[in-house]
Structure 1
Amino acid sequence: MARFTSLEICAGAGGQALGLEKAGFDPVMLIDDDPHACATLHANRPEWDVRKLDLLEFVGHDHPQVLDVDLLAGGLPRLPYSSAAKPRHVDDRHDLLRAAIWLALEVRPRAIMLENVPALAKAPAFAETRGFVEEELKNGGYEHAWRVLDAQEYGVPQRREHGVLVAMRPDDFVRFTWPEPAGAAATVGDVLWRSMGSRGWGGAEEWRLVANEVAPTIVGGSKDRGGADLGPTRSKNIWARLGVNGGGIADDVPGPDFVMRTEDDPRDRKGLPKLTVAQVAVLQGFPPEWTFAGGKTARYRQVGHAFPPPLAAALGDRIAAALAGAH
C-alpha cells in the first residue's frame, strides 16, 4: 500500500491520526495545546513528532517538514459551532477554522480534511462561514465538499454525526468519492458485556440484553465544567434505558457483589453500572491497547472529544485512493 505524509492539527488523543495511519498516512508532525493529549500521543506512538503548540501561533514555514505534505487534517474544537441556533461570534484572529484554512494555504497540502459538528456543514446559521471557506480554498486552487457522516454507519457503536470538509486540487478531487456506509454497528451490550463481567459480575449477560442499542453521542465536556459524565439529562436518560448510569465515570467495572437494580422510571439511574474510561474509548472505536494520559476527567475528555478512528480510516482510504490515482 502506498504511504502518504500528513500534518495533524488539534490532534487531541489521536483518534483521527490513528485512523489515517491505518489508511496509509504517516504524520510528519502532530500539534495540540493540551499537555494530556500530547502525553497520550507520545505514550502510544513515541516515534511521532508531537508538539505542544497553539494553532493560532503555528507558522508552517518555521517547520519546513510540514510544507507540501500530502494531507493536512484536524478535528477542530466545537466552539463556536456547537449550536446552530445560537452561533457564537469569534474574532477572526481567534477562529481556529480560519486559522486552519490559512495554514493549509501556507502549507499547500494535496488534500485537506477538517472535522467539526454537523451544523457547520449544513446549518443556515453558518452559511457565511462556509462561504469564507469556499472563497479561500477556491482562491488557493482547491475544490472542496462538505458532508455529514454518522460514525455508527462505519463500525462505531455510537450515534455520532460529524461535519467533514474535504478539499483537494482539481486533478485529485475529480477522483475523490465519499466512503460508503459499512452497515449496522454493534450494540453497547455486544461490545462491552465481556468487560462488564471481567471482575466477576454475574449480571453482565443479562445487562447485555438491556444495552441492546448503539450508544448515544458521547459528550466530552468543557474544561470549564466539573467532573466527567455522559452528557446532558436527555443523554443520561437514554443511557439509563440501556442499563448505564450516565451520571459519572467509574474507576472500574462492577465486582462480583454488584446487584443491578432497574426501575420503571428511566430517569432513575441508581443501581445501574457506570462505564469506565476504557469502555467509553471502545465505544469511540479506539483499539483496547490505546492508552490515555492524565487523571480520570482528563482521560475521559480526550476520549469524548475524539474523532472515531474507524470513521477517520474510512475517509482516509478514499482520500488515499484519490491521491494515488485510483478510482
Structure 2
Amino acid sequence: MGGLTFVDVCSGAGGLALGLERAGFEPRLLLDDDEVAVRTLKTNRPQWNVLCADLLDFDPSEHPVSYDVDLLAAGLPRVKSNATVGRTDSGMEERLLEATVYLVHAIKPRAVLIENVPGLADSDKHRQFRDFARAELAHLGYEFSWFVTNAVDFGVPQNRKQGVLVAVEQPRADAFRPPAPTVLEPTTVGAALGSSMASRGWQEAALWAAQADQPAPTLVGGSKNRGGADLGPTGAKRKWATMGVNAHTVGDLVPGPDFIWDPKLGRDNMVKITAEQAALLQGFPESWQIAGLKTARYRQIGHATPPPVGEALGRAVAEALNRDPATSAAG
C-alpha cells in the first residue's frame, strides 16, 4: 500500500497528515497559515516539507513538488454550525472549501479528500457548495461521494461526526468505499485519560475514570478571535459535567494528591482536562508535541482531524487507487 503521495492544505496540528502517513502515504507538501501550527508540524516531523502560507494565496506553480501527487487532502476549518456560531470567522471557511476545489485544477491529484462538519455532506445549508464541487470535479473527470464518519467508530474516545468528500479519478472511482468502523465498542473518556489523571498522585483517579464511562462530546477549538479555551458549547459542557469535568476552561495540570473531587460542590471541585489530554481525546499519540501556549495548543487540537480517522480514510483511498482499473470495471 506504500508509495502514494499527498499534499495537505490547512494542515493544522497534523492530525490528518499523521493518519495518512500511517496509511502509507508520503507527504510532498503541507500548508498552513498559522505559525504555531507550522512549528507543531516541524517539531514532530522535521523531515516534512511544511510551508507557512495562506491557502487563498497559494500558487502551486511556485511549488512544483505539489504536482503529480496521488491525493490532495484538506482538513479545513469547520464551517459554521449551530455549535460554532460566533466561534469562527464569517465566510472564511466557505472560501477555503472553494479554494481547495479550485486547487484540484492546478495540481490534478488522482484523488481528493476534504473533511469538515457533518452537515457538509447532507445539510441543505451546504447544498450550494456540494453543487459547486460536483460541477467542478465532474468536469475534471472525478467521481465522488459524500458521507459522514464518527470518530468514535475508529477507536477515538470522542463522538465527533465529520462530513467527508472523497473524489477519485476514473476509472478507479468505482473501487472506493467509505471506511468501515474499526472498533466494536467505543473507548470512554475514563479509559483514555485514567492513567494520566493519576500521573501526579491523585488517589481518586480510578474512581473518576469509572464515572467517565462514555466517549467525550465533540471538542471545539474556537477561533483566534476568542478568549480563553473551553471544551465546547453549552450542551457539551453539561455532558462533561455528568463526568465530573469542569468544561468551562482547560487545565494547566492534572490533579495532584491533595485534590478533592466532589462535583456537588461546584466547578472548583471538578477535574479539568488539559490540552495534552484533549490531544489524547482526539487520538493523537502521547509523543505528538503541540507547540504554543495553552489556548493556542488547545485550538490546534480542537480543530484537528483525529489521526485514526485520517488513517481509515487514507486506507480506503489507497485501496481504490491501488486497484487495477480492469478489476474495478469488472467489479
Tell whether the structures are fold-level matches, with TM greater than 0.5: yes
CA RMSD in angstroms, aligned pairs only: 2.0
Contact 1:85/1:125 (<8 A) preserved? no
The answer for the alignment partner of 2:130 in structure 1 is 130
Counterparts of 1:91 and 1:165, CA distance in 2: 19
Among 285, 299, 302, the residue aligned to 1:301: 299
Q: Indicate whether 1:82 and 2:76 are aligned.
A: no
Contact 2:202/2:255 (<8 A) preserved? yes
Equivalences for residues 1-327 of structure 1 within 5 A: 1-79=1-79, 81-83=80-82, 90=91, 95-182=95-182, 183-263=184-264, 268-325=266-323
3-state secondary structure, aligned to 1:180: coil
Counterparts of 1:21 and 1:2, CA distance in 2: 10
Q: CA offset at residue 317 of structure 1?
A: 0.4
Q: CA offset at residue 191 of structure 1?
A: 1.1
Counterparts of 2:295 and 2:53, CA distance in 1: 22
Contact 1:196/1:204 (<8 A) preserved? yes
Contact 1:229/1:247 (<8 A) preserved? yes
3-state secondary structure, aligned to 1:174: helix
Task: Tell me which moved more, 143-152 or 183-192.
Answer: 183-192
Counterparts of 2:84 and 2:78, CA distance in 1: 14
Compared CA separation, residues 31 and 91, structure 1 to 2 (3 A): closer
Contact 1:9/1:73 (<8 A) preserved? yes
- Please tell me the residue identity of whatever aligns with 2:278: V
Return structure 1 stretches of 4+ with deviation > 6 angstroms.
none
Count how many residue pairs are aligned between Structure 1 and Structure 2. Answer: 322
Contact 1:84/1:126 (<8 A) preserved? no
Counterparts of 1:146 and 1:203, CA distance in 2: 44
Contact 2:84/2:222 (<8 A) preserved? no
Q: CA offset at residue 3 of structure 1?
A: 2.1
Q: CA offset at residue 184 of structure 1?
A: 2.1
Counterparts of 2:260 and 2:150, CA distance in 1: 35
Which deviations, in whole Å up to 9, do the C-alpha atoms of 1:35-84 show, x marking residues without a partner?
A: 010000000000001000010111112211111100000111123x4349
Contact 1:156/1:283 (<8 A) preserved? yes
Q: CA offset at residue 235 of structure 1?
A: 1.0
3-state secondary structure, aligned to 1:171: coil
3-state secondary structure, aligned to 1:27: strand
Contact 1:84/1:119 (<8 A) preserved? no
Contact 1:84/1:125 (<8 A) preserved? no
Counterparts of 1:114 and 1:155, CA distance in 2: 21
Contact 1:152/1:160 (<8 A) preserved? yes
Q: CA offset at residue 195 of structure 1?
A: 0.6
Counterparts of 2:199 and 2:73, CA distance in 1: 37
| Percent sequence identity over aligned pairs | 49
TM-score, length basis structure 1: 0.94
Compared CA separation, residues 256 and 84, structure 1 to 2 (3 A): closer
Counterparts of 1:89 and 1:126, CA distance in 2: 15
Which deviations, in whole Å up to 9, do the C-alpha atoms of 1:13-34 show, x marking residues without a partner?
A: 0000000000011111100000
Compared CA separation, residues 202 and 84, structure 1 to 2 (3 A): closer
Contact 1:10/1:76 (<8 A) preserved? yes
Contact 1:84/1:123 (<8 A) preserved? no
Structure 1: gaps spanning 5 or more residues = none
Counterparts of 2:83 and 2:199, CA distance in 1: 42
- Please tell me the residue identity of whatever aligns with 1:322: A
3-state secondary structure, aligned to 1:47: coil
